[in-house]
Amino acid sequence: MTEPHKLRMGMVGGGPGAFIGPVHRIAAELDGKIELVAGAFSQSPERSREAGMRFRLDPARAYADYRQMIEAESKRADGVDFVAIVAPNHMHLPVALAALESGIAVMSDKPAAASYEEALELQAAVAKSGLLYGLTHTYAGYAMVREARALCATGKLGTIRKVAVEYMQGWLSGPLESTGHKQAVWRTDPALSGAGGAIGDIGTHAFHLIEYISGLKVTAMNATLRTVVPGRRLDDDCNAFLRMNNGAEGSLACSQIAAGEMNELRVRVYGEKGSLEWRHQDPNRLIVRWLDGPEQIHHASMSYLSAEARAVARTPAGHPEGYLEAFAVLYREFADALLTWKQGRANSPPATLPGIEAGVRGMRFIERAIESHRIAGWVEF
């Protein structure tokens, strides 16, 4: 049975001047399975209306706030099928709870909430609702990240003994927040960002990615947090040692004061027979190195790749895909899972789509990093 209409998306956040809202809109609509029909795009009702006009929405569906949107949309026969949450972190829990309580599925940006306790509350609400919850840990949508994950799962690298993940940005090297810069202001305000600064904003991505690719879980961590820019209220730099559930050890570094870096995310996994390396700046290639063989470069969309990597490729080899397509992979998986659920079948999203479990682990990572820093030592997960 096919769904007679596209899945209807309502968006919270993503108004004029926003960073990630436009990315979600493009990604959600890329495969023709989803359309934006409603939104509460800003904390300012006027700006929300203005955004609705710009997106050619029915003016009645550009709402003054998210509560109004969820209330009105849940009464409409053609109301939204899911809510995309792209507002700052402190809005993630209240919006997700309101949607789930009204029977509406959720696709949220990370981190899942503003604290670990909030994430647990959200996890309980997701379980109680039986509804789909997706979390846009973007990098999980890259074909070569899927290839790396599939390669680790085959065991060909041998027992994994060391992992390393780095996420370096330089855009907060100075007190940008004091200039009123939209994205810097809320990210450095604990009331809007939560307890994590760089660790919440990009550390959660790094943490998710190392578990996602290696298939291992972090069991203990020893982290140092710093606030390098004077007057800043949250961390902007972190170095952490990791211990994994198979005995492997490794490191996670993230920074927003790494001057000159744009978005340098790099993952390495070392097994006893070989290793892999993926860099976000070169996302269509995966480097695989062997102890007893030559270095290999796996290219996106090639026929020799794993089924998992081939399943998410859209363009032929040599036609590079990037950030928007990776995001769209997560939306496509979310849409397919939601359609399955709407057709009366089980709510069983694919394991490749990050969900509430990843959200809770990400918030636990922030909480544990802060605790480890406080006691200046190792903490169990």
Ligand X SMILES: NC(=O)c1ccc[n+]([C@@H]2O[C@H](COP(=O)([O-])OP(=O)(O)OC[C@H]3O[C@@H](n4cnc5c(N)ncnc54)[C@H](O)[C@@H]3O)[C@@H](O)[C@H]2O)c1
Calpha distance 349→211 (Å, rounded): 18
Nearer to ligand X, 183 or 251 (CB): 183
Burial 252-288 (b: 16+ CB within 10 A, else e): bbbbbbbeebeebbbbbbbbeebbbbbbbeebbebbb
At residue 298, what is the residue type?
H
List 239's β-bridge partners, or say none: 224, 253
For 364, the token pair is 């636990």
At residue 293, what is the residue type?
G
At CA 241, angle to CA 161 and CA 166, rounded to 5?
85
Nearer to ligand X, 191 or 351 (CB): 191
Nearer to ligand X, 160 or 177 (CB): 177
Binding-residue total with ligand X (CB under 6 A): 26
**Nearest residue to ligand X, by Cβ distance, number only:** 13
**In angstroms, what is the minimal distance from the CB of 181 to ligand X?**
9
At CA 221, angle to CA 219 and CA 222, rounded to 5?
160
Instruction: Answer for the pair 274, 156: CB distance below 8 angstroms, yes or no.
Output: yes
**In angstroms, what is the minimal distance from the CB of 7 to ligand X?**
20
Say whether residue 322 binds ligand X (CB under 6 A): no
Member of 61, 110, 208, 298 binding ligand X (CB under 6 A):
110
Binding mask 127-166 for ligand X (x = CB under 6 A): ---------x-x----------------------------
* DSSP strands (E only) in 228-380: 237-244, 249-255, 264-271, 274-279, 285-290, 293-299, 379-380
Member of 8, 27, 102, 109 binding ligand X (CB under 6 A):
109
Nearer to ligand X, 22 or 161 (CB): 22
Say whether residue 88 binds ligand X (CB under 6 A): yes
At CA 300, angle to CA 298 and CA 302, rounded to 5?
80
Nearer to ligand X, 212 or 270 (CB): 212
- Closest by CA to 239, choosing from 280, 199, 181, is 199
Binding mask 4-43 for ligand X (x = CB under 6 A): --------xxxx--xxxx------------------xxxx
**In angstroms, what is the minimal distance from the CB of 375 to ligand X?**
27
Nearer to ligand X, 149 or 208 (CB): 208
For 345, the token pair is 């079948």
**In angstroms, what is the minimal distance from the CB of 61 to ligand X?**
14
Name which of residues 39 to 78 contact ligand X (CB under 6 A). Answer: 40-43, 66
Say whether residue 378 binds ligand X (CB under 6 A): no
* Positions that interact with ligand X (CB under 6 A): 12-15, 18-21, 40-43, 66, 86-89, 91, 109-110, 136, 138, 182-183, 186, 201
